[in-house]
């Protein structure tokens, strides 16, 4: 009898492509929502990204009842409470989160409060605490990397206690994710690069870590192929609408993959580095990916070798001996990082980032060791191992 | 019409096995915290009074230990004196049996969604490391290699045997004391 077992779940309706935003009014009204609220941040609003969302709703006679545009990069319980109060005051019945990871996580957390009632968000923290479906919730991502539009997790800071509260429930999944290339076309090059490497890392870890499964594998490999093909094109021509759409879809596919297979040591290190040195998540992913793959190499040689097909295409794959494909996959990722460094100075090492000091490595290692993602890394890593990976990532 | 059905013998045997294993592992966790410095150091980071539970959902067998301070655990035979800080819950008896009979590694069981974590994830990671350390001491190497992700290459046979003997002795003593007290 096979010992293999897996679970896979993604009920999010993905609405993707040109003029995807114009589907929002129909999709909202089809599930009975008539008074939507937009949750976003100032950067998104200043970039004019809300305009097409508002216009499309107005065209269809659907009023956006209110807009909260002050979500900070690290959202907190007090911000969530403020938005929930506004939602109730304006008698809203649905939320459209427009933005990156923080706006989306905030939208998820607000939806918990306004659906479940009360003001105590902390009591819903943890896994499986929410037992009922929440109010209609739509997500319009404005970066192509986090995959938050298809994940069942939100992280909100409790500023009084100084801790990050995780929320995990399938009820946090949005009703719909709207992927429209207009929302990412103005992303600056270094953010395009870092977020695409975030999606790449989600996919590579989904494909090589312990909870990989046939369905997450399919999404992960498709996402890797799209990032490999279209990131260079978009970096050369940022106004490439088709390329932007491909990257946005890759991000969503990578999100579906990793939320059903989990991630590993790259994320454990990235979470710790983000918390201690305040480096952006996508950049951390790009920094650590090759060094962690080198550490995991002998444990993941076979799946990592398979990825060469999606990273470099069939010619390179077939010309590379099977015994060298895993190393060639790592080399392909290193080449990708080198190109991005030349194009937008995306750092390749901790030292190059200029934001991390050598003295901080010990604290990063200690924190990474207690990160939940490390449980799914295919190779066991103790403090010495994690420190060794950090030493490699320090100066390359 | 009677709706209660008879449980098959295999299920009863698994239930009994899982129950006994929880009692052994609970006592062994207390013992290993008194024997091994590495476990003691890991446990020291937990808050004093921290209550850790492993159980089978919904209200099946389980174990409960408390960090009483300075890296030492205490096994609780009865109900939790206050709300539990961290609970690792097997979704079904069969899943607990797979892990406790060492057919499925703890890490694989997490990856396979066999268990739910209720509490701080970082403490769950720490407790998993402690459970792994316990398993490499008390199980024969061949069995331990099936139970943990990586068998520690620096654990020499004399250290393993001496630690295992001390843990088993403490577990046996605890069982005897329990039997006398009841």
Which residues of chain B lie closer than 8 angstroms to A376, CB-CB? Answer: 107, 110-111
Check pLDDT > 80 for residue B38: yes
Q: What is the mean pLDDT of chain B?
A: 90
**What confidence category does residue A3 fall into, taking pLDDT thresholds of 50, 70 and 90?**
low
Predicted pLDDT of residue A4: 84
**Any A CB within 8 A of B138 CB:** no
Give the count of Cβ contacts less than 8 A between chain A and B: 46
Check pLDDT > 80 for residue B7: no
Predicted pLDDT of residue B128: 94
Q: In what side-by-side order are the strands of the sheet with A153-158?
A: A126-127, A163-168, A153-158
Report pLDDT digits (tens) over A110-135. 999 999 999 999 999 887 789 899 99
Q: Which residue of B has its CA nearest to A3?
A: B104
Which residues of chain A lie closer than 8 angstroms to B110, CB-CB? Answer: 375-376
Show which of residues 81-110 on chain B sit within 8 Å of chain A, judged by CB atoms. 104, 107-108, 110
For A37, which DSSP code? E
Would you call B111 and A211 a contact, using CB atoms and an 8 Å cutoff?
Answer: yes
Mean pLDDT of B45-57: 95
**Any A CB within 8 A of B41 CB:** no
Mean pLDDT of A286-313: 98
**What confidence category does residue B6 fall into, taking pLDDT thresholds of 50, 70 and 90?**
low
Closest C-alpha to A67, from A87, A91, A89: A87
Mean pLDDT of B71-82: 90
**Any A CB within 8 A of B149 CB:** yes
A5 vs B112, B121, B125: nearest CB: B112
Which residues of chain B lie closer than 8 angstroms to A372, CB-CB? Answer: 121-122, 124-125
**What confidence category does residue B4 fall into, taking pLDDT thresholds of 50, 70 and 90?**
low
Q: What crossing angle do the helices spanning A325-344 and A281-306 adopt, rounded to 10°?
A: 150
**What confidence category does residue B178 fall into, taking pLDDT thresholds of 50, 70 and 90?**
confident
Chain B interface test: which of A164, A211, A375 (most B C-beta within 10 Å) = A375
Would you call B125 and A380 a contact, using CB atoms and an 8 Å cutoff?
Answer: no
Does residue B63 or residue A126 have the better pLDDT?
A: B63
Q: In what side-by-side order are the strands of the sheet with B72-76?
A: B72-76, B62-69, B51-56, B86-90, B115-118
* Cis before B58 (ω within 30): yes
Would you call A376 and B107 a contact, using CB atoms and an 8 Å cutoff?
Answer: yes
Predicted pLDDT of residue B119: 85
Check pLDDT > 80 for residue B5: no
A342: exposed, middle or buried (C-beta count within 10 Å: 0-12, 13-18, 19+)?
exposed
The pair of structure tokens assigned to B86 is: 């961290």
- Please name the residue that has the structure tokens 């009632």: A117
Q: Which residue of A has its CA nearest to B85?
A: A126
Check pLDDT > 60 for residue A245: yes
Predicted pLDDT of residue B2: 54
Asked whether the beta carbons of A65 and A90 are under 8 A apart, the reply is: yes
Phi, psi of B75 (to 5 degrees): -80, 135
Helix and strand numbers, DSSP H then E, in chain B:
7, 5
Would you call A375 and B110 a contact, using CB atoms and an 8 Å cutoff?
Answer: yes
Could you tell me the pTM of the whole model?
A: 0.93
Would you call A127 and B117 a contact, using CB atoms and an 8 Å cutoff?
Answer: yes
Q: What is the mean pLDDT of chain A?
A: 95
Q: Which residue of A has its CA nearest to B119?
A: A126
Asked whether the beta carbons of B124 and B91 are under 8 A apart, the reply is: no
**What confidence category does residue B79 fall into, taking pLDDT thresholds of 50, 70 and 90?**
confident
The pair of structure tokens assigned to A160 is: 């009084």
Predicted pLDDT of residue A396: 79
Which residues of chain B lie closer than 8 angstroms to A126, CB-CB? Answer: 118-119
Would you call B122 and A370 a contact, using CB atoms and an 8 Å cutoff?
Answer: yes
Show which of residues 111-130 on chain B sit within 8 Å of chain A, judged by CB atoms. 111-113, 116-119, 121-122, 124-126, 128
Chain B interface test: which of A7, A167, A210, A382 (most B C-beta within 10 Å) = A210
Report pLDDT digits (tens) over A327-351. 999 999 999 999 999 999 999 999 9
Would you call A210 and B118 a contact, using CB atoms and an 8 Å cutoff?
Answer: no
């Amino acid at each position: 009898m096979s010992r293999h077992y897996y679970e896979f779940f993604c009920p999010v309706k993905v609405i993707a492509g040109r003029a995807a935003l114009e589907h929002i009014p129909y999709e909202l009204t089809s599930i009975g929502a008539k008074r939507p609220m937009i949750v976003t941040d100032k950067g998104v609003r200043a970039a004019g990204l809300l305009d097409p969302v508002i216009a499309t709703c107005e065209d269809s006679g659907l009023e956006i009842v209110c807009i909260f545009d002050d979500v900070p990069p690290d959202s907190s319980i007090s911000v969530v409470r403020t938005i929930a109060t506004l939602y109730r005051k304006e008698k809203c019945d649905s939320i459209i989160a427009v933005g990156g990871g923080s706006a989306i996580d905030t939208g998820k957390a607000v939806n918990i409060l306004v659906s479940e009632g009360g003001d105590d968000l902390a009591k819903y923290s943890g896994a499986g605490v929410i037992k009922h479906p929440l109010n209609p919730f739509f997500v319009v991502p404005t970066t192509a990397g986090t995959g938050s539009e298809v994940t069942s997790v939100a992280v909100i800071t409790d500023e009084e206690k100084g801790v990050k509260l995780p929320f995990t429930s399938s009820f946090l999944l949005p009703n719909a994710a709207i992927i429209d290339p207009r929302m990412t076309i103005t992303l600056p090059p270094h953010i395009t690069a870092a977020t695409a490497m975030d999606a790449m890392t989600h996919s590579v870890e989904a494909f090589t870590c312990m909870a990989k499964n046939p369905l997450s594998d399919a999404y992960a490999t498709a996402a890797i192929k799209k990032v490999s093909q279209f990131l260079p094109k978009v970096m050369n021509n940022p106004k490439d609408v088709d390329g932007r759409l491909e990257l946005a879809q890759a991000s969503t596919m990578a999100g579906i993959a990793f939320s059903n297979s989990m991630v590993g040591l790259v994320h454990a290190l990235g979470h710790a580095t983000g918390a201690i040195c305040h480096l952006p998540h996508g950049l951390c992913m790009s920094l650590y990916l090759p060094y962690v793959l080198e550490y995991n190499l002998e444990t993941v040689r076979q799946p990592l070798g398979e990825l060469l097909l999606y990273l470099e295409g069939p010619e390179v794959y077939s010309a590379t001996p099977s015994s060298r494909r895993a190393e060639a996959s790592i080399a392909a990722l290193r080449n990708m990082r080198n190109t991005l460094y030349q194009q937008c100075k995306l750092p390749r090492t901790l030292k190059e980032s200029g934001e991390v000091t050598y003295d901080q490595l010990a604290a990063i290692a200690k924190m990474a060791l207690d990160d939940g993602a490390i449980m799914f890394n295919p190779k066991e890593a103790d403090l010495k191992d994690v420190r060794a990976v950090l030493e490699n990532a320090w100066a390359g | 019409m009677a709706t209660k059905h008879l449980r098959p013998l295999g299920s009863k045997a698994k239930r009994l096995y899982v129950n006994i294993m929880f009692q052994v592992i609970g006592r062994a966790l207390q013992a290993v915290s008194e024997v091994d410095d590495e476990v003691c150091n890991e446990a020291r980071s937990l808050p004093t009074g921290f209550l850790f539970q492993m159980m089978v959902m919904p209200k099946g067998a389980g174990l409960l230990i408390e960090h009483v301070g300075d890296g030492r655990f205490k096994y609780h035979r009865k109900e939790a004196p206050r709300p539990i800080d961290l609970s690792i819950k097997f979704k079904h008896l069969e899943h607990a049996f797979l892990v406790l009979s060492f057919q499925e590694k703890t890490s694989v069981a997490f990856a396979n969604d066999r268990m739910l974590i209720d509490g701080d994830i970082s403490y769950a990671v720490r407790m998993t490391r402690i459970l792994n350390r316990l398993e490499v001491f008390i199980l024969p190497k061949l069995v331990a290699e099936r139970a943990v992700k990586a068998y520690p290459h620096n654990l020499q046979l004399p250290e393993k045997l001496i630690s295992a003997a001390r843990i088993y002795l403490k577990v046996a003593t605890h069982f005897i004391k329990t039997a006398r007290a009841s």
